[in-house]
Structure 1
Amino acid sequence: MKILHVVTLHTPDHAFGGPTRVALNLSKVQRAEGDDARIMALGDGFDGPLPSRVEGVPAHLYQARHLLPMFEVSGITSGPLLLAARRMMRGADVVHVHLMRDLVTLPAALLALASGTPLVVQTHGMVDPTEKRVAQLTDLLGVRRVLRGADAVLHLTEAERIDVNAVAAPVELTRTVRLVNGVRPQERKPDRDPARPPTVLFLARIQERKRPEDFVAAMPEVLAEHPDARFVLAGPDTGALDGTLRLARRLGVLDSLDHVGPLGHEEVLAAGRQADVYVLPSIEEPLGVSVLEAMSVGTPVVITRTCGLGPDVAKAGAGRVIDSRVGEDAANAGKVARAVLELLEPKANAEAGQAAWELVGDHFTIDAVTRTLRRTYENVVRRKRR
Structure 2
Amino acid sequence: MRILHIVTLHTPDHAFGGPTRVALNLSKAQRAAGDDARVMALADGFPDGALPGHVEGVPVRLFRARHLLPVFEVSGITSATLLRTARRMMRGADLVHVHLMRDLVTLPAALIALATGTPLVVQTHGMVDPTENKAARITDLLGVRTVLRRADAVLHLTEAERLAVDAVAAPVPLTRTVRLVNGVRPQERKPGRAPGRPPTVLFLARIQERKRPEDFVAAMPHVLARRPDARFVLAGPDTGALPGALALARKLGVSASLDHVGPLDHEAVLAAGRNADVYVLPSIEEPLGVSVLEAMSVGTPVVITRTCGLAPDVADAGAGRVIDSRVGEDAANARAVAEAVLELLEPEAAEKAGRAAWELVHGRFTIEAVTAALRPTYEGVVRRRGAASSHRFNAPACHVT
Report the TM range for the smaller structure's normalisation: over 0.9
Counterpart mapping for 1:298-313 below 5 A: 298-313=299-314
Deviation per CA, 1:264-323, whole angstroms, max 9, x where unpaired? Answer: 101111100110000000001000000000000000000000000011101111000000
1:214 aligns with: 215
Counterpart mapping for 1:245-324 below 5 A: 245-324=246-325
Counterpart mapping for 1:43-192 below 5 A: 43-49=43-49, 50-192=51-193
The answer to whether the 8 Å contact 1:214/1:333 transfers is: yes
The answer to whether the 8 Å contact 1:192/1:350 transfers is: no
Q: CA deviation at 1:191?
A: 2.4
Deviation per CA, 1:49-88, whole angstroms, max 9, x where unpaired? Answer: 2111111111111100001101000000001000000110
Counterpart of 1:203, as a letter, is: L
Task: State the distance in 2 between where 1:55 and 1:255 align.
Answer: 35
2:203 aligns with: 202
Counterpart mapping for 1:222-241 below 5 A: 222-241=223-242
Q: CA deviation at 1:168?
A: 0.7
TM-score (norm 2): 0.95
1:19 aligns with: 19
1:354 aligns with: 355
2:6 aligns with: 6
Counterpart of 2:17, as a letter, is: G
Question: What secondary structure is seen at the aligned counterpart in 2 of 1:15?
Answer: coil
Task: State the distance in 2 between where 1:372 and 1:306 align.
Answer: 25
Q: CA deviation at 1:48?
A: 2.6
Percent identity (aligned): 82
The answer to whether structure 1 residue 363 and structure 2 residue 340 are counterparts is: no
Counterpart of 1:9, as a letter, is: L
Question: What secondary structure is seen at the aligned counterpart in 2 of 1:259?
Answer: strand
Task: State the distance in 2 between where 1:173 and 1:192 align.
Answer: 49
RMSD across aligned positions (CA)? 0.9
Question: What secondary structure is seen at the aligned counterpart in 1 of 2:322?
Answer: strand
Question: What secondary structure is seen at the aligned counterpart in 2 of 1:145?
Answer: helix
Bigger RCO (CA 8 Å, 6+ sep): 2
Question: What secondary structure is seen at the aligned counterpart in 2 of 1:284?
Answer: coil
Moved more, 213-222 or 194-203: 194-203
Deviation per CA, 1:336-384, whole angstroms, max 9, x where unpaired? Answer: 0000001001001110001100110111000000001111110000011
Counterpart of 1:95, as a letter, is: V
Counterpart of 1:159, as a letter, is: A
Task: State the distance in 1 between where 2:253 and 2:47 align.
Answer: 37
1:29 aligns with: 29
Question: What secondary structure is seen at the aligned counterpart in 1 of 2:111?
Answer: helix
2:391 aligns with: none
Q: List, as ranges, runs of 4+ consecutive aligned residues in structure 1 with deviation greater than 3 Å.
A: 192-195
Counterpart of 2:345, as a letter, is: L
The answer to whether the 8 Å contact 1:304/1:310 transfers is: yes
2:392 aligns with: none
Task: State the distance in 2 between where 1:190 and 1:225 align.
Answer: 24
TM-score (norm 1): 0.99
Task: State the distance in 2 between where 1:29 and 1:283 align.
Answer: 31
Moved more, 186-195 or 319-328: 186-195
Counterpart of 2:68, as a letter, is: L
